[in-house]
Amino acid sequence: MRLYLASTSPARLALLRAAGIEPVLINPDVDEARVVAETEAAAGTPLAPRELVLLLARAKAEAAASALLARAKAEAAASALLTEPLNGLLLGGDSVFVLDGVIYGKPHTAEAARERWERQRGRTGTLYSGHWLIELTAGVPSSAVGAVAVAEVTFADDLDDAELDAYIATGEPLYVAGAFTIDSLGAPFIMSIVGDPSTVVGLSLPTLRRLVRGLGHEWPTLWNRPGALEL
């Protein structure tokens, strides 16, 4: 069973590879701000964290599915040859971090990352990770399921300014939800996690497994890396 990943996140890719899956990567190319603004305008109210990550996960998955089918049609027309049918599962994901009721995505700047860390060190916040899984049959979405995973993250209370400055200077926290990681340089600054740790990476493997089974497939059918096939 082929898995398509609608994401450019190195962390999600590494997580799947460690779990024995080599996905086909697709850039979803979604204007997240526009999707959220239009949805909130239609609803007349701000989106809750669960609603937000599921909305964007779905938008990314659906955009990637459309791009994948368009690309396959163009390649088939150009070569005038029959191509392999696009069958498999396509995953879209999104994550946000919530502290004191405020939703935080990627900080993008060192100043924003510093401000967030000054608020969150020594405290506990919540990471929400949305998943939307589409089954493709001959390139056309035939069914889909979605879910949100949640994890509570507690940060070190003895993180000093020198460590924080050094961490921000690496650039890592600028491009991840909540301005931290647990699978790279930020890991030593995390004291504890309540919930599935892979949720904090941006893709909950147990949640994805449940979604895969919900579409009628078994998790081991996704294993396609040599280490997994040797089990």
Looking from the CA of 193 toward its CB, the CA atoms found within 13 Å total: 18
Give the Cα separation of 97 and 119 in Å (integer).
Answer: 13
Contacts made by residues 73-80, CB under 8 angstroms, sequence distance 24+:
73/139
Q: Would you put residue 20 in left (φ > 0), alpha (ψ -120 to 50) or beta?
A: left
Residue found by looking up tokens 């990770």 in the block: 129
In the numeric block, which tokens belong to residue 164? 């924080």
- Of 94, 158, 161, 183, the active-site residue reads 94
The Cα angle at residue 47 between residues 41 and 53, in degrees rounded to 5: 120
Q: Is the dihedral of CA 164, 170, 175, 176 positive or negative?
A: negative
Residues 183, 173 contacting (CB under 8 angstroms): no
The answer to whether residue 94 is catalytic is: yes
Give the Å distances, CA to CA, from 85 to 26, 72, 178.
17, 9, 39
SS3 125: strand
- Angle between helix axes 32-43 and 49-79 (nearest 10 degrees) is 130
Q: Show which residues are catalytic.
A: 94
